[in-house]
Chain A
Amino acid sequence: MMPLWLDIVIAVLIVSGASFTLIGAIGLVKFRDFQKRLHGPTKNVTLGLGGILIASIMYFTYTQQRISVLELLITLCLFLTAPVSAHLLIKSAIKRQGLALPALPPTSKPDQKN
């Protein structure tokens, strides 16, 4: 049986990872814009999966008495691919919808610009 401290650490990692994933998915539903909606999955869900993978590394390192490397491969794969897919999606959204950057707010002293 696992020692209690390892049990508590694994439980905290699993619950926090699942909470981050849930918060990202709620952000995917609740935000209004596509640009705002892109924030939830690309950051929160990746972080939540990282927490679950760390918990899995600790559990299998304890039960099988050796360091497990396969989770690190999954982590590396996801942390490399999530920004790439987000970049492609936002490029496609900007091109198809003609989204432009909002204009800057007016400055208080336009005459003394130089």
Chain B
Amino acid sequence: MNFSLDMLLQPFSHVGMVSKYAMLIAFIFLSISIACCTWRVVRGPMMEDRILALDTLYINAIAVIILLGLVFTTRVYFDVALLVAMFGFIGTVVLAKFLFAGDITK
């Protein structure tokens, strides 16, 4: 097996001549960002750090989903991104409310 840059760029080649490099760089950056957030989820000294890292993690997941929608040129993934945004916010609010009040129905 010989790895080359063209092999890495092959899934993005129909997006554009310049944007295929941009897509590769963006996926690498988002992967490092997700790794940083996961490290903070595992490490975080306070419970709020973990909730904040999970919040950042779902926003990164939305970014990855939107970029995948650009790669596959389909509109289906935007519904998924909208649902992830709404339910992620509800989850963050419920967890923060539980830490703050000790009860999520107050």
Contacts and interface: CB of A to CB of B under 8 A. Distances in A.
Interface of A: 1-2, 4, 7-8, 10-12, 14-15, 17-19, 21-22, 24-26, 28-29, 34, 37-38, 40-41, 45-46, 48-49, 52-53, 55-56, 59-60, 63, 68, 70-71, 73-74, 77-78, 81-82, 84-85, 88-93, 95-97
Contact of B66 (A11, A15, A52, A85): A52
B27 to A, nearest CB: 8
Interface in B24-60: 25-27, 29-30, 32-34, 36-37, 39-40, 46-49, 51-53, 55-56, 59-60
B36 A2 contact: no
A37 B52 contact: yes
A29 B36 contact: yes
B93 A11 contact: no
A29 B96 contact: no
A73 B30 CA distance: 22
Contacts of B99: 92, 96
A56 B60 contact: no
Given A7-B16, A18-B26, A41 B56 contact: yes
Given A21-B29, A29-B40, A88 B97 contact: yes
Contacts of A41: 52-53, 55-56, 59
B96 A25 contact: no
B19 A70 contact: no
A93 B46 contact: yes
Q: How would you classify the secondary structure of chain B's contact residues: helix, strand, loop or mixed? A: helix
A14 to B, nearest CB: 4
A92 B26 CA distance: 34
The 4 closest A-B pairs by CB, nearest first: A11-B22, A18-B26, A25-B33, A88-B96
B56 A28 contact: yes
A15 B22 contact: yes
B22 to A, nearest CB: 4
B78 to A, nearest CB: 5
A77 B22 contact: no
Contacts of B46: 34, 93, 96-97
